[in-house]
Amino acid sequence: MQVLIKNGSIYDGTGSDPFYGSILINDDRIAEIIKGDVADAVPELLDNADTIIDANGRCVTPGFIDQHRHADLAIFRDSFGPQELSQGITTIGTGVCGFSYAPFTEKSEGLYNYAEPIMGPSADGARYSGISDYINAARQAKLSVNASTLQGLGAVRIAVKGYDPSPYTKKEMEEGQALVSDAIDSGVRGFSTGLIYNPEMYTSREEMIQLLKPCKGKKMLFMPHIRNEADSLPESISEVIRIAEENEMSLSISHFKAMGPDNWHGKLEDAISRIETAQGHGMDITVDVYPYHGTSTTLSSSLPFSFLNEPFEKIIAKINTKNEIDRLRKCYMNPGPNDNKISPDFRWSTTLISGVSLPENRKYLGKTVKSAFAISECSDVYEFLANLLYSEKGNVCMVEMGMDEADIERIMKLPYSMIISDTLYSITDFPHPRAYAMCPHMIKEYVLKRNVLPLKTAIRKMTSMQAERMHYKDRGCLVKGAYADMLLFRPENLKDNATFEHGKVLSSGIDYAFINGIPSWKDEKQISKAGRYLI
């Protein structure tokens, strides 16, 4: 089938200036790109095309790529697709921040409970013994968008050690390295880690270097959620640079930021300096950033490292006892060397509760921890946190307004930064708006309103840069022979309808989205499932 998109303003995804022209799609690929008036250049196309779409007044761009979405389980849900397509996302990356749902062993069951505030529930309860089993299941599914996965190293550690905080034994390290080798053989593009999450927080730098040894010489990608995004941000950057360097891996630092007003600007500039020094020595390093000053993750991830002295299930089972509440308060008020140092008053005044499951806790949704505590019967914030986490078995999602807008703009302007969402897929009425509105928000707020980036650069950071980083062959650019993942829209018509107060609202303004040459979004609704699993 041939589709001719004529008279558009074509942004090819490379960062080049747009040009007036037309694109011919033949089956799943771009067959021709015609600069100028198609009637003058190739008039027979007007007669031979099966479908003709007049893009006059619209931008024609590659489909947006979001390499950082926690959709590992969500892609199997029947409801998956509209929130991505409505904002122009045609390809996603999963297996980020150390989370994967393979390999699965008898020690892995706790992962599903711990990660539910990030991933949401499993659609079918499936368990995947190896990453190849997960990939095969995804390839057989009817996907709304293209998708790929990294191997999360948190899942590797859990498969080997469960939530045991002790160091790897020699035997356990060999088992972990074997699972890393299996993932490489399965065709994954790289590995992610979440050094802020339980139990990966217990993995030392040297252990991580050893675990990734099978990657040496394999041109693998290392995508870390670093250990500390606050006072120890620069040191955490140096740590992951060392891990990647030791194993000859390219490095892509996830959701690069500085958390807390005491750490804004100065800590960020120190971190940037360390990145660019390593780049100057020949390292391949990129970062990504989301266009919001609020982050979102599990509330349990804010528990101090110094408090987490046992497996997570044991901690949560007794966290509401007086002794544990006293210990929790002490750890927050007197942070240890591995804890994020953020002012307690700032943290609890800017952290919103965004996901709970129990009816009695729904009154706290959308409120800051400080204001939620005020309507509870608890004596202080720390008793409230302990009781909430205990009642929800640790499964509480939060939004933390801890970033500075000037820092976000600084990162966006870096020539090696990309734009992502870090979307969570927990089941809640109060999701972070980035889940539904990241791409239109980026263009509306940072391109059209603030002029932080020109449109051609923003598109590049949401298309070709990510395709190149993730090794998506023939994607991310509008060139002859590439897969026809494409969007048509008027930038001024894009609307980021989701807000922090009302996050569960689809974006609008994408006139067409094509995936693999098939129209998938039109007239503000999904019309097909044409995605493929990329391997």
Domains in the chain (CATH in brackets) are 153-253+256-294+403-417 (3.20.20.140), 298-400 (no CATH)
pLDDT tens by residue, 370-399: 999 999 999 999 999 999 999 999 999 999
pLDDT at 235: 98
DSSP secondary structure of 455-523? HHHHHHHTTHHHHHHTT-TT-SS--TTSB--EEEE-GGG-B----SSS-----B-EEEEEETTEEEEET
pLDDT at 494: 98
pLDDT at 125: 79
Torsion of CA 159, 164, 169, 174, to 10 degrees: 10
**Residues in the chain with pLDDT < 50?**
none
pLDDT at 477: 98
Instruction: Name which of 427, 429, 434 is nearest 498 in CA terms.
Output: 434
Strand partners, 525: 522
pLDDT at 28: 98
Q: Which two tokens stand for residue 13?
A: 């995804």
pLDDT at 514: 98
pLDDT tens by residue, 228-237: 999 999 999 9
Residue 310 contacts residue 228 (beta carbons within 8 Å): no
Instruction: Report the relative pairing of strands 295-298 and 397-400 from DSSP bridges.
Output: antiparallel
pLDDT at 535: 79
The whole-angstrom separation of Cα 346 and Cα 348 is 6
